[in-house]
Amino acid sequence: MQWNLIYILVVVSLILILSPISSSEDDQIEGYKVFTIPSLIRDNTETSISIELNQKFLIRIRGNPTTGYQIFLKDNLRDLISTKGNIVTPLNLNKYRGTDEFLVDKHQYGYVGVGGFYYFKFSADETGETQLIFENKRIWDTSDATFLKVNIKVV
């Protein structure tokens, strides 16, 4: 019985780790199509999403700012721009290229150090392909930053 429980926990953990982004047609928040990165950015990973032209979308990335680590959009704006204009446009970046939109997970009163999700909002303005690179780092120390590369195809 105990081994069955351990086996189930291992399988569920592997599924969460190996499926770095998820979305369904019903995933909408305030008119934004939602793509979720269900686990912390621990290794340099890469994933892809497809979005329709003129669609607003958001990428939810799990994080925990109480550890000192935060999620930032790497400054690769040259890669976001086509000859016509912006392929995707960030909508809610702060001056550090992070987001102030963070929703903490539900937890019992008095708990501290609880993680949650960062919400990065974008609009798909031109057809084409681009790549968003998110960094998980301390703002004062980039030596141990990890990256998530999200390939975007706007159709």
| Each residue's pLDDT tens digit, 79-91 | 555 455 689 999 9
Q: Residue 25: is its pLDDT beyond 70?
A: no
Quick one: average pLDDT of 12-37? 61
In a domain, 51, yes or no: yes
In a domain, 100, yes or no: yes
Between 17 and 50, the higher pLDDT residue: 50
The CATH number of whichever domain residue 42 belongs to comes to 2.60.40.2020
Residue 71: half-sphere exposure toward Cβ, Cα within 13 Å: 28
Number of structural domains in the chain: 1
In a domain, 1, yes or no: no
In a domain, 13, yes or no: no
Confidence at residue 146, expressed as pLDDT on a 0 to 100 scale = 85
**Are 119 and 58 spatial neighbours (Cβ–Cβ below 8 Å)?**
yes
Quick one: average pLDDT of 119-134? 93
Is the CA virtual torsion 32, 60, 140, 111 positive or negative?
A: positive
Confidence at residue 141, expressed as pLDDT on a 0 to 100 scale = 81
Q: Residue 69: is its pLDDT beyond 70?
A: yes
Is the whole model's pTM more than 0.75, yes or no? yes
Confidence at residue 74, expressed as pLDDT on a 0 to 100 scale = 86
Tally of residues, the chain = 155
In a domain, 85, yes or no: yes
Q: Which domain holds residue 48?
A: 30-154
In a domain, 7, yes or no: no
Q: Mean pLDDT for the chain?
A: 80
Tokens for 46?
Answer: 């890469």
In a domain, 109, yes or no: yes
